[in-house]
Structure 1
Amino acid sequence: MFQTPKYLTRGIQCTLPAWLVILLWNLIDCIPNEQRDYLQVFRLTRIGTGQHIAHSQEQPPYSYEMKVPCNDAVNAKIFVIDDQTHSTMLLAEEY
């Protein structure tokens, strides 16, 4: 199966720990291609025990939430845009 190249903006590289970037890509990969929207949204919230992740897309409607224990949690809104030639992960403020 062909997978589009994945890119990170400088904001992502400077803000998110590497393990979290890998986890976000994996969460997207869990959605079958034919059910995956071009725009994925992640709302990341620092909580007492670590990281809360809320993942969603508009069409078809999809949402998933999880908590990950960690010491390097962040607060951020992340977009992943797939234009069928490549996927780019960026902070919402970089859009």
Structure 2
Amino acid sequence: MFSNKRYITCGISSAIPHEIQLALWRMIDNLRASTDVEVDYLQIFRLSIQNGKQKIIHRQEEPVYCNEILVAFIWNPVENAKIFVIDDGEHSTMMLAEEY
């Protein structure tokens, strides 16, 4: 999973800074590199601001996985966003939840 061509939607391109996009792909890559967690075809991210930092919650439903990080701002923060990254076997697509 998630080792194929990667795409982003227009919504991601316009609403999510490139640095955050890269961080989300990196979080998926780190999950894939983990030997003890099976990667689901649907990855879910929630972005918010907490204590002056960008909060990113990364989760999947099957099997259950959740990782939460806080990152100091080095770009424009994203206050409230839900992002899906879906692997359909041929390619992986990052999209805003409302684009699904």
Check whether TM > 0.5.
yes
Q: Is the 8 A contact 1:53 1:65 kept in 2?
A: yes
Give the aligned partner of residue 73 of structure 1: 77
* Helix, strand or coil at the partner of 2:55: strand
Deviations along 1:6-65, one digit per CA (max 9) or x if unpaired, are 000000000011100000000001112771100000000023422100000011110000
* Helix, strand or coil at the partner of 1:72: coil
Give the aligned partner of residue 48 of structure 2: 45
Partners of 1:17 and 1:36 lie apart in 2 by 25
What is the one-letter code of the residue matched to 2:15? Answer: T
- Root-mean-square deviation (CA), in Å? 1.7
Partners of 1:41 and 1:3 lie apart in 2 by 17
Q: Is the 8 A contact 1:41 1:77 kept in 2?
A: yes
1:30 matched to 2:30? The reply is yes
Partners of 2:91 and 2:50 lie apart in 1 by 32
Moved over 3 A (4+): none
Q: Which runs of 5+ in 1 are unaligned?
A: none
Q: Is the 8 A contact 1:42 1:54 kept in 2?
A: yes
1:92 matched to 2:97? The reply is yes
Q: Which runs of 5+ in 2 are unaligned?
A: none
TM-score of the two chains, using structure 2 as the length reference:
0.87
1:64 matched to 2:84? The reply is no
Q: Is the 8 A contact 1:50 1:72 kept in 2?
A: no
